Structure 1
Amino acid sequence: MRRFSGIRHPRGSPLIPAGLLALSMVFALCGPTAAPAGVEKPGDGARCGSVDLVFAIDKTYSIGRAIGEAKAEVRRLLDRVADVSAGRYRLGLISFRDDIDVDLDLVDGEGPEAADELFRRALFRLRAEGGGGGPEASDEALRTAVEGLAGGGARPQRGDFSGDWRAASRILVLITDNLPGGFDDLFVEAVDGANARAVAGAALARDIRISAIYIPTDGNQPTPDPRKAEVMRAYALLTGGLFIQIQRSGSGAAEAIAEIIEACGAKTVS
């Protein structure tokens, strides 16, 4: 199996609101929460134990290269999931712009081969189009995954997500280059920032680690908006996941996903 290499981490640390930093420090000192009764724990040759792995992927035009890398490397990435879980895993996929598509629900399949095939089909259906540079519904896509929300009604979501997280390692991977904006294409800190933090809190309560892969694109602006990295980093800090900033072009996405899988979606606390 070919080794991934070349993970690129940002230099320096974006400023994070003091309240978020304090909460993340408390979480780090407490360590990961214990697995609920009846949930499989790591063992039997599985580094991560059983794995529930769900992706929430921005599918606006600027994410095209990152999606392309994930498609090109999907076989190797799925092999890694199988390796760290000893074949005990389930997969899910949610995509978003200013609305949400549940492309693959997190449900029991007929085994790893069937799960792999369903995931590959869902991933290859993604097309990076549109976007217009504004905030996207990343916060609401995460909420769909964490809380198990159904589509329809007033919620601009196609498809239902069961939210039946029960593996020993519960990994939610967010890939985006923009601020969370709910469904209105706007970012207001008091509303959307608070919503993002609430989603992180709900994930932590369910023992779900959010790992954020940030792509620092900003159109024709000379530097990325620092608030984007702040929000993405906060998801990881508050839930014990990983934050990885890749290249502006989207290159490095597959390597970042591989790093998250190998870490069982959880940042090591030393």
Structure 2
Amino acid sequence: MQTRITEQPSAYRHLETKSVQEITRYINTEDKKIALAIELVLPQINALIEIIVTKIKNGGRLFYVGAGSSGRLSVLDVIELPTTYGADPELFQVILAGGVDRLAEAREEMEDDKNEAWEQLLKKGISQKDLVVGISASGTTPFVLAALSKCRNEGIDTGCIVSNPGSLIAAQALYPVEVITGPEFITGSTRMKCGTAHKMIFDMISTTTMIRLGRIIDNQMVNVKLINEKITDRAVKMLMGLSNINDYDTAKELLFQHGSVQNALTSSNGKY
């Protein structure tokens, strides 16, 4: 039987009797363990990122299939990518139990649906060029497990991010990441350490992938969308710093002409 560490009792008892100071100290103590747990699985994360980059470079896409808190966190990561990196929104997508369009409703009952995820992948035109990554704290969520099993049967590469060892979902993943953060502060409340660990891994995956795809120069967001004054001002100053343009208005005009810092630098052909 699978070890369900995420369901084991909290190390902290009688929380209703504790002060605010005690509770926050205990939570902080548990949170300190998260980065160390991720460090232990960096090789698995690296392998997953390598295949994501390869798939996208070859015309494929990444699909997260998730449910619960971690599934919703994957949505939050993915929706940032077009703005931050000017990335095509088709490259990173999420199939969420209950639907991305109903994110705020937290429809946990949909986690048990064994058909919906695959049906949604079919609507997206899933193929062997793509990669499907299952997201599940428990490693047993039927919505996710059924999708990965079907993908394996169809010859579609799979990965996963789970928080229990030896899970059913990890067994269906060619690129499994099993980040073991231990029992939760509130017994079974995987929105806490598990959710934080998964969010940190999503950050690693998306950021590293975008860097490897050439969406970053030095450490700058050179493809950021010019959606407001703050970001536009940042982009103008970025362009000035990466070129020999010293005049703010000239840099701003060039930026708007080409739509991004990277395009402005490329189109200037060394002029600046």
Same fold (TM over 0.5): no
Please classify the TM superposition score into its range, dividing by the shorter chain length.
0.3 to 0.5
The structure in which a higher percent of residues are strand is: 1
Q: Which has the higher contact order (CA 8 A, sep 6+)?
A: 1
Tell which structure's C-alpha radius of gyration is larger: 2
What is the TM-score when the length of structure 2 is the normalising length?
A: 0.39
TM-score by length of 1: 0.40
